[in-house]
Chain A
Amino acid sequence: MAASPATAPRTRRVLLAPLDPVHDVGLKLIKKQLEARGHQVTLLPPDLTPEEVTRAALAGRYDCLLVSRTVGYESAEILARLADLLDGAGLRPRMRVAVGGMAVRPELAAEMGFDAGFGPGTPPEAAVAFVEEAPPRHDEEALSLQKPDLCALYSYHWKDTVIGDAARELARGIVAWAEGARTPGSERAAVAQAMLVADEGERLRLEEEYLHLCGDEVVAMRRGQPPPHGRLIGEEEKRRALGLFARGRGWQPLTVTGYQRLPVVFVQYGTGCPVMDALHAVVAARWGAQGTVHFDPAWSARQEGLPRGLVAWSADGTFYTPENLQFFREATGNDLLWQVRAHRGLNTPETVVWAAAAGADLTKINPVYGSLGGGTDPERLLVDAVAAMRLAARYGLPFDVVTNEELGGVPAHKAIAGMLAVVATALELGARPILQPLFCYSPEAMLEGYMEQDYVDWNAAKVIALRRIIDAPIWPGAPIGFLTHTEERVQSAVTTSLHAGLAASLGVDAITIASTDEAYSRGPITAAARVDSLRAVGEVFRFLGEARVSPTTRAEKLAEQLLEGVAGTLRDALRQPSFCQALYAGVFGTREEGGNPGRAGRGTVTRSAPQ
């Protein structure tokens, strides 16, 4: 924003020269801002020759000349000639000269003899700063991000009392059921917490204790054996990587319109290598992402215990190790909202500990998805999830509650009912949950034809329904547009961006977006694929501004249908002896529907007190 003239620095005389055949709107915008700050501005007519511009510059005592020109081969010669004439006429360096245009880069400006060059997308403020000789804003400073608190605006008030009451009743049951239950996962979380504050000797003792709670492969890795197809990253490599990423940090807004409160855009990372992850995150931040989500290997989720060390492997997902997490935080600075997911495996509680220790902003916990779609035994994960939610509450880490079981075929109303039971549990434990409905072309939607007409109504219906249930933050995932992507880059970017536009229209708090490599499964995601999606999302945000994507009346009907289904599912769950039993019994998704209670960690729950 331009400051008021009262605070503006000394008045400058500025000459604006459009060297293009027509008036450049950029110069007009700059003129307006400069005048608002009290400067004397002369805008020359377009299409003058370098000689004519020089003559005009000679005719008045100007402090600055700003030239606009769309650079092509000829244009470069014209600009260089102008710079030469101005210099030859003795106007330099008293009069400072800058050029703006489509292909202008600082190198080009330097080559052609200008003091500064402004490329496309440069805000008029940059030209104003040049005129006023304001010190160039340091990148970190210019791009500093006020990290938003996704939960701050919400009361967590249950608006639908029928659903709210049922969810809360289930939640109280879950908390009571988990009381006194222990698992190797919850015990490791306790050891991990002790490790964080232990001295060296104590840590060695704790490590032995920790190893007793781990599976064989994790023990081998903790004793220095690299993972299959993996390696440890050395100190020198780490140092170089941190040096490299320190140069690229800082967050760049997706759009500069500011017309509407846009959802916070998250990208997922988990290439297998923390260095490559950091590259992706830094690139994504520079192209407008405000948050990142760490994906750990599916393999690791089935193991008891987490490896350690700065470790990379060539398979999907990056290991949670204290060193990997610490490295990522250091490499990306504190610019991005950072989610470290705890939700689905055998290491759920201790992941929250390490995430909090490394400075994560968010985590992810949902025992319903984790046990029905993530392969972990429901009893084990429910105990661990309660422990994890307690830890998240203690560390002040908000977490989303995903509904990814939909992707396996579980109907949305069941997935949402499970999510709401977990949300109620989180609230019971003093944590701050975030709703995560899926924006996806789910098997249910395919079978029922919910998305035959459009991709809008069904996704919108989920948000409409959730808004009627509870006043809580909504973060559609993950990624939005799931199962609508193809391997074709443009299609992929477009579908992601249109789903983002829908999310913005619905006023949700955050979204997680895919790269354009989302549907490509034969190789790792590339950095370029990150950029492409983010550019597309930025463009759609810019396109929509304050306008909205409007669902049809069908969305309302689908929302009503969802509300009924959710209430019904919660009632069914309450009829079961326990929430845990409800998970095994298929209340939140039958095997036929795709809800498959997992086996990892079965029989590992011990109880020190009567249930």
Chain B
Amino acid sequence: MGGALDRVADALDVETFLVGDSEEECLRLARRLMEELGLPDHDVISLQFRGLGARVRVRAYLYRPGGEYGWLKEGNASGG
């Protein structure tokens, strides 16, 4: 059986509020956050800055359509 990441259907979204001084800083922080989490292949889906910081959602696709999905591997698909 694989790890839990195998069972992610497609993407991992990270949502949080980042404290920062500017939209640019928050954008940098959002990207760095994903790097630190070991998810270098990511995209900032939405980021809304309002003074103190930004509401942000960043996404890392683990499986894109047409790829080979972890949740379909032998053992995962049949072991549920």
Q: Which residues of A contact B (CB under 8 A)?
A: 229-231, 237, 240-241, 243-244, 247, 271-273, 275-277, 279, 283, 312-314, 486-489, 520, 522-524, 526-528
A sample of 8 inter-chain contacts (CB < 8 A) reads A240-B78, A241-B77, A247-B80, A276-B63, A279-B9, A283-B9, A313-B65, A528-B9
Asked whether A272 and B77 contact (CB < 8 A) given A488-B46, A528-B9, the answer is no
Cross-chain contact B67 with A526 (CB below 8 angstroms): no
Is B9 within 8 A of A526, CB to CB?
A: yes
B→A interface (CB under 8 Å): 9-11, 13, 15, 43, 45-46, 48, 55, 57, 59, 61, 63-69, 71-72, 74, 77-78, 80
Q: Is the CB of A527 within 8 A of B65?
A: no
Q: Are B46 and A271 in contact (CB under 8 A)?
A: no
Does B45 contact A524, Cβ atoms closer than 8 Å? no
Query: Which of chain B's residues has its CB closest to A491's CB?
Result: B46
Name the A residues within 8 Å of B9 (CB-CB).
279, 283, 526-528
Using known A-B contacts A243-B78, A276-B10, A528-B9, determine if residue A487 contacts B45 with beta carbons closer than 8 Å: yes
Contact among B10, B66, B77 with A526 in the assembled complex (CB-CB below 8 Å): B10
B10 pairs with A527, CB closer than 8 A = yes
Contact between B72 and A273, CB atoms less than 8 A apart: no
Set of chain A residues within 8 Å of B74, measured between Cβ atoms: 240
A486 to B45, CA, bound (A): 10
Chain B residues whose CB sits within 8 angstroms of the CB of A231 once the complex forms? 66
How far apart sit A283 and B9, CA to CA, in the bound complex (Å)?
Answer: 11
> In the complex, what residue of chain B is closest to A239 when comparing beta carbons?
B77
CA distance in complex: A322, B13 (Å): 34
Q: Which residues of A contact B66 (CB under 8 A)?
A: 229-231, 272-273, 276, 312-314
A385 to B71, CA, bound (A): 41
How far apart are the CA atoms of A312 and B65 in the complex, in Å?
Answer: 8
Q: Which residue of A lies closest to B57 (CB)?
A: A489
> Whose C-beta in chain A lies nearest to the C-beta of B61?
A523
A160 vs B54: C-alpha distance when bound (angstroms): 53
Q: Return the chain A residue nearest B60 by Cβ.
A: A523
Asked if B64 and A275 make an inter-chain contact with CB atoms under 8 angstroms apart, the answer reads: no
Q: How far is the CB of A149 from chain B (nearest CB, A)?
A: 32
What is the distance, in angstroms, from A166's C-beta to the closest C-beta of chain B?
45
| B57 contacts across to A, CB distance below 8 A | 488-489
Interface pair B43/A244, CB less than 8 Å apart: no
Residue of B nearest to A273 (CB): B65
Instruction: Check if B72 sits within 8 Å of A244, measured CB to CB.
Output: yes
User: In the complex, are the beta carbons of A522 and B80 less than 8 A apart?
Assistant: no
A296 to chain B, nearest CB (A): 14
Question: Hey, which chain B residues are within 8 Å of A314, CB to CB?
Answer: 64-67
Shortest Cβ gap from A241 to chain B (Å): 6
Q: What are the residues of chain A within 8 A of B59 when measuring CB–CB?
A: 523, 526
Q: Check A522–B43 contact: CB distance below 8 A.
A: yes
Whole-angstrom distance from the CB of B17 to the nearest CB of chain A?
Answer: 13
Within 8 Å by CB of B13, from A241, A277, A313, A528, lies A528
Residues of chain A contacted by B71 (CB below 8 angstroms): 244
Q: Are B72 and A241 in contact (CB under 8 A)?
A: yes
Q: Please name all residues of chain B whose beta carbon is closer than 8 Å to the beta carbon of A524 when the two chains form the complex.
A: 10, 61, 64-65
Looking at B13, B46, B61, B78, which has the most chain A CB atoms within 10 Å of its CB?
B46
Bound Cα distance from A244 to B69, whole angstroms: 12
User: Which residues of A lie under 8 Å from residue B65 when comparing CB positions?
Assistant: 271-273, 276-277, 312-314, 524
The 5 closest A-B pairs by CB, nearest first: A273-B65, A271-B65, A272-B65, A240-B77, A312-B66
**Interchain nearest-CB distance for A509 vs B (Å):** 31
A520–B46 Cα distance when bound, in Å, is 9
B67 nearest CB across to chain A (Å): 7
Is there contact, CB below 8 Å, between A489 and B46? Answer: yes
Considering the chains assembled together, what is the distance between the CA atoms of A197 and B78 in angstroms? 35
Question: Is B10 within 8 A of A520, CB to CB?
Answer: no
Whether the Cβ atoms of A523 and B43 lie closer than 8 Å is: yes
Distance in angstroms from A416 CB to nearest chain B CB is 34
Smallest Cβ distance from B14 to chain A, in angstroms?
Answer: 12
Chain B residues whose CB sits within 8 angstroms of the CB of A528 once the complex forms: 9, 11, 13
Residues of B within 8 A of A487 (CB): 45-46
B13: nearest residue on chain A (CB-CB)?
A: A528
> B residues within 8 A CB of A277?
65
Q: How far is the CB of A249 from chain B (nearest CB, A)?
A: 14
A229 to B64, CA, bound (A): 12
In whole angstroms, what is the CA distance A247 to B79 when docked?
Answer: 11
CB-CB under 8 A from B80, the residues of chain A are 244, 247
- Out of B13, B15, B72, name the residue touching A275 (CB < 8 Å): B72
Extra contacts, 17 of them, besides A244-B77, A244-B78 (Cβ < 8 A), are A243-B78, A271-B65, A272-B65, A273-B66, A276-B10, A276-B63, A276-B66, A283-B9, A313-B65, A486-B46, A488-B48, A523-B43, A523-B61, A523-B64, A524-B10, A528-B9, A528-B11
Q: Which residue of A lies closest to B75 (CB)?
A: A240
**Of residues B13, B43, B66, B72, which shows the largest number of chain A Cβ atoms within 10 Å of its Cβ?**
B66
Q: Which residues of B contact A240 (CB under 8 A)?
A: 72, 74, 77-78
Cα–Cα, bound, A273→B69 (Å): 11
CA A489 to CA B67, docked complex, whole Å:
25
How far does the Cβ of A267 sit from chain B's closest Cβ, in whole Å? 15
Q: How far is A332 from B48 in the complex, measured between Cα atoms in Å?
A: 38
A486-B47 Cα distance, complex, nearest whole Å: 11
Q: How close is B31's CB to chain A, nearest CB, in angstroms? A: 14
Bound form: Cα–Cα A145–B55 in Å? 40
A73 to chain B, nearest CB (A): 24
A244 to B68, CA, bound (A): 15
A328 → chain B closest CB, angstroms: 14
CB-CB under 8 A from A230, the residues of chain B are 66
B24 CB to nearest chain A CB (Å) = 18
Residue of A nearest to B73 (CB): A240
How far is B65's CA from A589's CA once the two chains are assembled, in angstroms?
A: 36
Q: How far is the CA of A247 from the CA of B59 in the complex (A)?
A: 28
**In the complex the two chains form, what is the Cα distance from A218 to B67 in whole Å?**
22
Please, how many angstroms separate the alpha-carbon atoms of A271 and B9 in the complex?
A: 13
How many angstroms from the CA of A527 to the CA of B8 in the assembled complex?
10
Task: Give CA–CA (A313, B64) in the complex, Å.
Answer: 10
